[in-house]
Amino acid sequence: MPNKKVIKAGIWYTLVSFLTKGAVFFSTPLFTRIMSKSDIGLFSNLTSWIDILIPIGTFNLVTSLEIARFDYKEELEKYISSILIYGTTITSAFYAIVIIKLDFFCKVFSLQPYMVHILFIYMLVYPAMSIFQAENMFKYKYKVSTLISLLSVIISIGAALMLTYFNRDNRLEGRIYGYFITLIAFNIIIYFYLIIRGKAVSLKYLKYALVISVPMIWHTLSLRLLTAGDRVVIIRTVGEEANAMYSVAYTCCHVVSVLYGAMNNAWSPWATERMNSGETEEMKKASRFYVCFYSVIVLFVMLVCPELLLIMGGREYLDAKYVMPPVMVACICQFIYSLYINAEFYLKKQTRIAIGTILAAIINVILNIIFVPIFGYNAAAYTTLVGYLCLFIFHYLSLRNLKKGHWYDNRFNIGIIVGFIVLMGIIIVLYHYTIVRYIVTFMLLVVTLFFMFKYRSYIIKLLKLLLKK
C-alpha cells in the first residue's frame, strides 16, 4: 500500500474520530445553558448506564474483529454479518428479561421506563457503526466512513439541541429522543448494509468471537465502571445536581480522552502490525514521541481548566474545577497503559487484561462508596486516578511477566506518570494565582515551540516511522 495513502488515512481517522467522539464536549456549553442541573445529571446517568451495559448486552463481540481480521482475512465480511446477528440475538434476550421486570430495573438504574427502552433499542444496533468504522480503519478506507461518522454526529446533536430547546415542558426528554433516535436510525442503515453484504450466519464465527470477546467483557465492563460508575454512585449518594457538577467537569476532561481514542485508532493497527512483523524496536522509538505529544497537550489543558469549565458550564459550575487535574492525570495513565494492553491483546492474553481491569474497577467502586458520601463529588476524581494507576501497574507487570517488557521504554513511561502526579498538586495551587498560571502557560508554550523547532527533523523522522507500512 502506498505510504501516502496510509498517511492520509491516518490523519483523516484521527481528525474525524476526534470530532465525532468530541461532539459531547463541543455541545456541552449549549446544553448547560438550556437545561437545569438536575436534567444534566439525569442525562449523564443514562449515558453512564449505556456505557456500563453495552459490554454485557452485546457480549462485546466487536472486540474480536482486531484479531479476526488476520485469521479470517478472506472471510471478513461473512464474519462481520455473523457476529452482528448473534450480537443482536444476545441483546434481545437481555432486553426481554428487562421488559418482564421493568419496574425493578427502572429502580436499579434510577431511570424512567422510556429511558430504559431507548437504552436497549440503542444497544441492539450499536455494534454496527463500531464494526463499520473498525473495518474501514483496518483497510485504510476513510472517505465514506468519515462522511457517515460526521453526518450521524452533526444530525444527532442538531436534533437533540432543537428538541431540547423547543420542548420546554420536558427538556430532558427532548434531548434523549433527539440524540438517540437519530443515532439508532444511522446504526440501523449500517446494520442492514453489513448483513446484506456478508450474507452469512455461522456458528464457527461465533465460537471464535466468544473465545476472544468473553474475557474482554469483564475488561470492558470494568473499564466502563471506572469511567461511568462514579457518576452512578454520585447520583445515588449526593444527588442529581452534584452529578451535573461532576459530569460537566468530567466532560471538560473528555477532550483529552477523546484525543486518546482518536490517536489510539491510528496507533493500534500500526502497532499490531509492528508486533506481527517483529519490528518492535521501531514501535518502542515511536512510542516515546507518541507519549510526549499527548502529555504536552494534557499539561496545557490542565493549566487552563478553570477557563475551560467557565466556557463549558458557566460560573455556576466553576467550583468543579478541582475535579479536573486528577482526572487529567488518570487520562495520562490510561494513555500509557493502553500501549501495554495493545500488546497483551495481540498476544491473546485477554484473560490477563480482564483480571487487571476487574481488580481496578473493584478498588474504584469500593473507594467511591466510602469516600463520595463523606467528601462529595470531588472524591470521585481521586478514586478514578487510583483506579487508573492500578491498571497501569498491573499491565506493566503483566507485560514484563510475558517477557515482552522491552517492547516499550518503561522508565520513560513511569517517569511521565510520576511527573504528572507532582504537577497535579502544583497546578491545583496555581488555580489560586491566575496571573502566575497564565505566565507559566505562556512559558510552556514557548518552550514547546522551541523544542519542536529544534528537533523538527527528528520529529518528522519519527512520524514517517510511525506511518511506515
pLDDT of residue 239: 85
Q: Are 83 and 214 in contact (CB under 8 A)?
A: no
Instruction: Specify the pTM.
Output: 0.77
Residue 418 has pLDDT above 60, yes or no: yes
Q: Are 285 and 462 in contact (CB under 8 A)?
A: yes
105-124 average pLDDT score: 95
Q: Of 90-99, 196-205, 370-379, 401-410, which one has max mean pLDDT?
A: 90-99
The string of DSSP codes covering 230-278 is: HHHHHHHHT-HHHHHHHHHHHHHHHHHHHHHHHHHHHHHHHHHHHHHHT
10-18 average pLDDT score: 63
Amino acid at 58: T
pLDDT of residue 14: 62
Query: Given pLDDT bands bounded at 50, 70 and 90, which one contains residue 170?
Result: very high
Residue 461 has pLDDT above 70, yes or no: no
Q: What is the pLDDT of residues 151-162, one digit of tens each?
A: 898 899 999 999
Lowest mean pLDDT among 28-42, 182-196, 349-363, 369-383: 349-363
Query: Given pLDDT bands bounded at 50, 70 and 90, which one contains residue 2?
Result: very low
